[in-house]
Amino acid sequence: MLNQVINAPLLYIMVGIVIMTVMLFAVLFAIKAYQRALELGFTKADLLRVIKSTIIASIVPSLAVMMGLFALAGALGNAWPWLRLSVVGSITYELMAAETAAASMGVQLSQLSSMGLSGFVTIMFVMTVGAVSGLIVLFFFGEKIHRGAISLGKNKQSFGIVALECFMIGLLATFLPAVFTMGLDVVLTFLTSLIITVLLGLVVIKFKVTWLKDFILAIALIGGMASSILWTGWFGS
């Protein structure tokens, strides 16, 4: 029953409609931005260089999204992870939300089939509600928050950096406790990704390899997932 639902043609159609709608808006905004840039005095050659560099810088980081899709597809099928990671989801949030929801039902994400359709619906609900709440807050208060941040930034140039760091610390404080309760193999996988990230960051700073910044997330995810095979074989339950 569960496999029939997660692979149902209707689900693929619904997901496809949503993604195509988002892509349509992306294309429309890109066209508007291109036209506005020309009005501001940028040349077509300038914009072509920006487009090329953006495409190149997006390819490798997108591999991280593909890795997240593969990680979720085994338990949730292709359609739902495709939607989540293509529209408003992020790799870190989607994986953590799915695993946390599965753990709350007493199973691992890979064992979701034992929970049946109700388990799948629960995970869909958990993965969606958290992300939608942010969109609702931004819809009603986004402009006010943005204007407030700009006004504070004018008075204190370092405010933006401090606010971003506080945000990242808040994320770590939220997610790390869950990571350290999932077993030694999960902790070692996390530490491996952390070490890769720090080392690559040091390379960027020391050797001024600025282009590497766009690839750190993808490399850390791929390296961490590769190391998880080793850690699971040694310490997995």
Amino acid in position 166 = C
In this structure, the answer to whether residues 25 and 124 fall within a common structural domain is yes
Q: Quick check: helix, strand or coil at residue 208?
A: coil
Same domain, residue pair 20 and 125:
yes
Looking at 65, 100, 131, the residue that finishes a domain is 131
**Ramachandran quadrant class, 42 (left: phi over 0; alpha: psi -120 to 50; beta: rest):** beta
Residue 24 included in any domain: yes
Report the predicted TM-score, pTM, of the whole model to 2 decimal places: 0.67
Give the confidence band of 51 by pLDDT, cuts at 50, 70, 90.
Answer: confident
Residues 12 and 124 in one domain: yes
Task: Quote the mean pLDDT of the chain.
Answer: 83
Query: 78: which residues sit within 8 A by CB, 6+ positions away?
Result: 7, 69
Residues 100 and 210 in one domain: no
Domain boundary among 105, 131, 157: 131
Q: Residue 144: what pLDDT? A: 85
Q: Which stretch of DSSP H or E encloses residue 105?
A: none
Domain that holds residue 201: 183-237
C-alpha torsion angle, residues 43, 46, 48, 53 (rounded to 10): -160
Instruction: Tell whether 119 and 196 lie within a shared domain.
Output: no
Does 16 score more than 90 pLDDT? yes
CA–CA dist 137, 231 (Å, integer): 40
DSSP output for 34-93: HHHHHHTT--HHHHHHHHHHHHHHHHHHHHHHHHHHHHHHHHHTTHHHHHHHHTT--HHH
Q: Do the domain assignments include residue 118?
A: yes
Query: Does some domain include residue 75?
Result: yes
CB 113 within 8 A of CB 2: yes
Which of 131, 153, 168 is the endpoint of a domain? 131
pLDDT tens per residue across span 167-226: 778 877 877 887 788 788 889 998 999 999 999 999 999 998 887 887 787 788 788 888
Do 127 and 187 reside in the same domain of the chain?
no
Please tell me the total count of domains within the chain: 2
Q: Say what the pLDDT of residue 160 is.
A: 63
CA gap 75, 182 in Å, rounded: 18
Give pLDDT tens digits for 110-147.
Answer: 787 777 788 888 888 888 887 787 788 888 988 888 78
Three-state SS string over 146-202 comes to HHHHHHHHHHCCCHHHHHHHHHHHHHHHHHHHHHCCCCHHHHHHHHHHHHHHHHHHH
For residues 126 and 217, state if they share a domain.
Answer: no
Instruction: Indicate the SS3 state at residue 110.
Output: helix
